[in-house]
Amino acid sequence: MGKQEIKELAKMIDHSILHPTMTDSILEKECEVAAKFQVASVCVKPYMVARAAELLKGTDVAVGCVIGFPHGNSTPAAKVFEAVQACGDGACEIDMVINIGKALSGDWVYVENEIRLVTAMCHEHHALVKVIFETDYVTATEDKIKLCEICTRSGADFVKTSTGYGFVKLADGNYNYRGATLADIELMRKHSGPDVRIKAAGGVRTLDDLLKMKTAGADRCGATATEAILTEAIIRFGDGK
Sequence ranges of the domains in the chain:
3-236
The verdict on whether 95 is a catalytic residue reads yes
**Dihedral over Cα of 101, 104, 110, 111: its sign:** positive
Residue 198 Cα to chain centre, angstroms? 9
Q: DSSP alpha helices (H): ranges in the chain?
A: 3-10, 24-37, 49-55, 76-89, 100-104, 108-124, 141-154, 182-191, 207-216, 226-237
Taking the CB of residue 182, how many other CB atoms lie within 10 A of it?
15
The verdict on whether 11 is a catalytic residue reads no
The answer to whether 63 and 56 have CB atoms below 8 angstroms apart is: yes
Amino acid, single-letter form, for residue 41: S
Catalytic residue, from 89, 95, 136, 209: name it. Answer: 95
Amino acid 150: pLDDT: 98
Axis-axis angle for helices 207-216, 3-10 (nearest 10) = 80
Mean pLDDT of 18-47: 98
| Model-wide pTM > 0.75 | yes
Catalytic residue, from 79, 144, 146, 160: name it. Answer: 160
Amino acid 239: pLDDT: 60
Mean pLDDT of 210-232: 97
3-236: which CATH number, 1.10.3720.10, 3.20.20.70, 1.10.150.120, 3.30.9.10? 3.20.20.70
At 169-201, the pLDDT tens digits run 778 888 888 889 999 999 999 999 999 999 999
pLDDT score of 30 more than 50: yes
Amino acid 241: pLDDT: 46
The verdict on whether 79 is a catalytic residue reads no
Catalytic residue, from 79, 102, 199, 209: name it. Answer: 199
Amino acid 116: pLDDT: 98
Mean pLDDT of 93-118: 98
Mean pLDDT of 45-74: 97
13 vs 174, more confident: 13
Percent of the chain with pLDDT over 90: 88
At 133-170, the pLDDT tens digits run 999 999 999 999 999 999 999 999 999 999 989 888 77
Amino acid 201: pLDDT: 96
Amino acid 80: pLDDT: 98
Taking the CB of residue 153, how many other CB atoms lie within 10 A of it?
12
Nearest CA among 13, 5, 8, 11 for reference residue 221: 13
- For residue 159, the 8-state DSSP code is E
Mean pLDDT of 221-225: 97
pLDDT score of 24 more than 70: yes
The answer to whether 38 and 15 have CB atoms below 8 angstroms apart is: no
Average pLDDT of the chain, as a whole number? 95
Percent of the chain with pLDDT over 70: 98
- For residue 241, the 8-state DSSP code is -
